[in-house]
Amino acid sequence: MMFVSRKAQDYQMKILNLLEEEDLGLSISQIAEKIGLNRNSTAKYLEIMAEKEIIYKRVQGPTQKLFYPIRKSKSFEARADYMVKFYQTLHSSLFVDMLGAPKKAREIGERMAERGITKLYKKQFENVTLTFENVVQFIEIAVEITYPTPVVKINVQRHPKNPNSFTIEIKNCICDGHADYKSICEIQTGLFKGVINGMIAPEQVFVEEIECQIDGFDSCKYLVTKLEDIED
């Protein structure tokens, strides 16, 4: 049996009481400041408590973690399941039943980028230099932050034969390999193109989905290629 010092117990109780008052979650730094402990020690306590399921940890991107009272875990899981089913039903109803054209979603994705999604992503990464290479790399973080389910994993890799191309792989895409949800991948294609174009203008990119779970692949993969500068 692992011995827990009285001091550790006191800090863990402070953390529990603090999180019970903060349903929106707190970061490591915020918790450390509120309980009067250095960040490294606070992070250690938080990880131990999360591993023991005393509190709930939610990872948002590769560096950001938020902590909640354990009672929130089921609500997050239920909300994620609900949102996935909501998006799937929305896409099948609109693009299959009404329009009969899943590829129309690609145009809508580009329009969404123009009407505010690009601005939303820029706000998250306002200190990043907006080059093609940097933008594609932080798209990985942006997608993980905004995706409706926490199990999604994004992997960005430079193309081995073309320095002006990257692949963006989405594991656990909510298309779920179902043909009725193909428009989910199409709208993602348009979003990638619209957001990246908006950030690196006047340069532009070409985006295509080269692998899809619907076609039997393990993930959905997109090829992003930078085009030549646009002449004025």
Angle formed by the axes of helices 132-146 and 182-200, nearest 10° = 140
What is the pLDDT, as a whole number, of residue 204? 93
Residue at 80 is within a domain: no
Q: Encode pLDDT of 135-166 as tens digits.
A: 877 777 777 767 777 678 888 888 888 888 99
138: phi then psi, degrees, rounded to nearest 5: -85, -5
pLDDT of residue 60: 64
Q: Specify the length of the chain in residues.
A: 232
pLDDT band at 229 (very low <50, low <70, confident <90, very high): very low
104 and 27 in a common domain: no
Domain of 47, in residue numbers? 6-70
User: How far is residue 115's CA from residue 8's CA, in Å, rounded to a whole number?
Assistant: 50
Beta bridge partners of 56: 68
* 136/203 same-domain check: yes
Contact by Cβ (8 Å): 64, 144: no
Where are the alpha helices (H) located in 21-51, listed in sequence order?
A: 28-35, 39-51
Same domain, residue pair 216 and 106: yes
Residue 25: predicted pLDDT = 81
The structural domain count of the chain equals 2
Greater model confidence, 121 or 212: 212
Same domain, yes or no, for 136 and 49? no
pLDDT band at 222 (very low <50, low <70, confident <90, very high): very high
Is 81 contained in some domain? Answer: no
Question: 222: helix, coil or strand?
Answer: strand
Give me the residue label for tokens 């089913």. 85
* Residue in the structure block whose two tokens are 């979603």: 105
Sign of the Cα pseudo-torsion (64, 24, 56, 147, in order): negative
Judge whether residue 230 has pLDDT over 60. no
Lowest mean pLDDT among 80-94, 115-129, 183-197, 208-222: 115-129
The answer to the question of residue 175 being in a domain is: yes
